[in-house]
Amino acid sequence: MLPGREREGAYLNELLNGVREGHSAAIMVHGEAGVGKTALLSEAFRAAPDLRVVRAAGVESEMELPYAGLQQLCVSMLDLLEHLPQPQADALRTAFGLIEGPAPDRFLVGLAVLSLLSEAAAQRPLACVVDDCQWLDRASAQALAFAARRVQAEGVLLAFAAREPSQDFEGIPGFGVEGLRDPDARALLRSVVQWPLDEQVRERILAETRGNPLALLELPRGLSPAELAGGFGLPQALSQDHSLAGRIQESFLRRVEALPEASRLMVLLAAAEPVGDPALMWRAAARRRLAVPWPPPRPHTSRVLPKPPAGCCRPPRLRVSAPWESSSAPRWT
């Protein structure tokens, strides 16, 4: 189980056990960026290989595209559409551009989602994980919330994560994810700082990060071993009066700026690529004749892009501190 998340993990486990017994539930997990919502849900569902897990995540650049998020979630279940009442099936088919027609009735789309999820769950208990709901397009958010408010005994769990609870998800029970408690925060900090850490610097990092795991992982990276060891007063990065999010962003930015030109262009590409399709990224890189070896030698993109995963650059933090914010930003010519 994820350190410091025993209570939340146990609660999610309980919901999963309910789903195994044929109950349904919906839950909204909210909390500030980096607090560990994605990690919490991933960990819970990793421990449930007997369930069918389908996923989607809001993508900032797709917010204006109606049903983009819903399509992500449903794409692997489309073969079940033929079991739905015709008007519902057609509403979803139209929403996903599979057949032509005027914009579908949103009520029908909501009903269709509910029917589709219960069809899928009839084969095997189903868990739907929808991350970064703050970036879901409105039509998807409404359809998913509509279904989530109506699940009963299908064997479906809908788990949502968002920075803040929003009106679209009103009526869905939820809990806030808070920063790690002091001992867990200290343990996480110990695990990332391999150099001697000055007592004052340690306490300052702990106070500034308020147990936010991303901040605990990232802030020390912005400090040199000499700064971590103290002796010269508080490191500048800690003494500046910036927001935590701003500092994490600066930390990413510093790491991006330290990369060679080709690698920075690669990061720029990854940040611009919305869905995290590595094949697409490599094709784009090849077209630009970008020769970035993989895995890259250190210090290179490997520290910024840990692997070429689905969801390529650790979105969205890196995306917002993308290289174009930098004065030395690389530019396509």
Ligand X SMILES: Nc1ncnc2c1ncn2[C@@H]1O[C@H](COP(=O)(O)OP(=O)(O)O)[C@@H](O)[C@H]1O
Beta carbon nearer to ligand X, 154 or 218: 218
- Residues 4-23, one symbol each (x = binds ligand X by CB under 6 A, - = not), give xx------------------
* From ligand X, Mg ion, none, interface partner of 217 (C-beta below 5 to 8 A by class): ligand X
- Token pair, residue 229, equals 């060891």
Q: How far apart are CA 84 and CA 95, in angstroms?
A: 15
- State in angstroms the smallest separation of the CB of 225 from Mg ion: 30
Residue with token string 């650049």: 61
- CB neighbourhood size of 290 (10 A): 16
Beta carbon nearer to ligand X, 138 or 221: 221
Residue 93 binding ligand X, by CB under 6 A: no
Return the residues of window 182-241 that contact ligand X according to CB under 6 A: 188, 213-214, 217
- State in angstroms the smallest separation of the CB of 205 from ligand X: 15
Q: How far apart are CA 303 and CA 297, in angstroms?
A: 10
- Count how many residues are written for the chain: 333
Beta carbon nearer to ligand X, 35 or 158: 35
Residue least distant from Mg ion (Cβ)? 38
Parallel, antiparallel, or unpaired: how do β-strands 52-57 and 156-162 relate? unpaired
Cis amide leading into 85 (omega within 30)? no
Beta carbon nearer to ligand X, 117 or 215: 215
Residue 38 binding Mg ion, by CB under 5 A: yes
Beta carbon nearer to ligand X, 214 or 292: 214
- State in angstroms the smallest separation of the CB of 239 from ligand X: 24
- Token pair, residue 226, equals 């000499």
Residue 33 binding ligand X, by CB under 6 A: yes
Beta carbon nearer to Mg ion, 68 or 81: 68
**Count of chain residues binding ligand X (CB under 6 A):** 17
Span near ligand X by CB under 6 A; candidates 6-14, 26-34, 81-89, 142-150: 26-34
Nearest to 45 by CA among 117, 126, 136: 126
Residue with token string 């980096």: 34
* From Mg ion, ligand X, none, interface partner of 214 (C-beta below 5 to 8 A by class): ligand X
Residue 276 binding ligand X, by CB under 6 A: no
Return the residues of window 35-74 that contact ligand X according to CB under 6 A: 35-39
Q: How far apart are CA 293 and CA 310, in angstroms?
A: 18
> What phi and psi, each to the nearest 5 degrees, are found at residue 57?
-145, 140
DSSP E strands in the chain: the ranges are 25-30, 52-57, 126-131, 156-162, 174-176
> What phi and psi, each to the nearest 5 degrees, are found at residue 126?
-125, 135
By the criterion CB under 5 A, which residues form the site for Mg ion?
Answer: 38
